[in-house]
Amino acid sequence: MKANTEQQLPKQLEAAAKIVNRRISEYLENRDDIHPKLKEAVVYAASSPGKRLRAAVIQMVCRLFSGSINQDAITAACSVEMMHAYSLVHDDLPCMDDDQLRRGQPTVHVKFGEASAVLAGDALQSLAFEILAKEIKDSEKAIKLIGILSGFSGAGGMISGQAADMEAENMHSGIEEVEYIHNHKTAMMFAASAAMGAVCGDGKSEDIHNMMQWGIYAGLCFQVVDDLLDESSTPEELGKSTGKDLQQGKATYPAAAGKEESEKRAKALAGKAAEILEIYGQRADNIKSLTQLLYDRKK
């Protein structure tokens, strides 16, 4: 059963991405109120080819608890992907990481200019909340989703992670500092996605908590692997600049603990994430397979 699920996972991820890509495209296409130049930059950023892992998490978790992927889950998935796109646009800016390449394409500030990139990121952040407020018909559910997303992506979450990441440059950070950055900058958005999926699927409070915890472990695993890949892969393989973490003195797990310890840490985190799913039995097999994919990935 599990082997069959692992074989089906690539198709499930592709289907999840297609659903969200189409919905985001439709939503933005109908927004004639957005300034044309700004809209072009927003569409470029939101349509950038990516894995849409966070969107897939929402859809998979929703299915785990409700038996299907409902419209609320698709809306929430679009919201999280727009939030993620905003974070990447700002992360790539010259004043931040100054990256030239993202997902195999020129970054937004390279293509449209720095000012347009800042505004495009701002727009995507507001659109992420707007789509939830407008499209989720159950007001109580909408408030829950907005609360989760704002908490994990906001001042005490992802943004604090970015602030810590910037402060840690060339500081030879230890494990504690690295884990703070990983937890806030990356893991919290995986946690938000998993929790939002549980809300969309009408999961119980303990289910939302369990999925949130799964997201933390899965997101931390993802980031440790990302740190390792940055040191061992090429830009062509990853679709983004590589080796810059080391050049810029970034706080990474390999820099703080070494390659061997980082590989052990990633494996342990994947194991902790999978352990949380055991209480859901075979119903969570696809999420277990996704957990393994986050650990095994090469790009």
* CATH number for the domain that contains residue 221: 1.10.600.10
Residue 1 pLDDT more than 50? no
Query: Which pLDDT score is estimated for 172?
Result: 81
- Token look-up 């044309």 returns 36
Query: Which pLDDT score is estimated for 234?
Result: 57
- Mean pLDDT of all residues in 15-40: 96
Query: What is the number of alpha carbons within 13 Å of residue 2 lying toward its C-beta?
Result: 12
Query: Which pLDDT score is estimated for 235?
Result: 60
Residue 55 pLDDT more than 50? yes
CA distance 93 to 244: 14
- Mean pLDDT of all residues in 252-281: 96
pLDDT confidence of 193, banded at 50, 70, 90?
A: very high
Query: Which pLDDT score is estimated for 198?
Result: 99
pLDDT confidence of 173, banded at 50, 70, 90?
A: confident
Whether the model pTM is above 0.85: yes
Report how many domains make up the chain: 1
- Residue 104, by phi and psi: left (phi above 0), alpha (psi -120 to 50) or beta? left
Full residue range of the structural domain in which residue 229 is found: 2-296
- Mean pLDDT of all residues in 233-252: 64
Residue 241 pLDDT more than 70? no
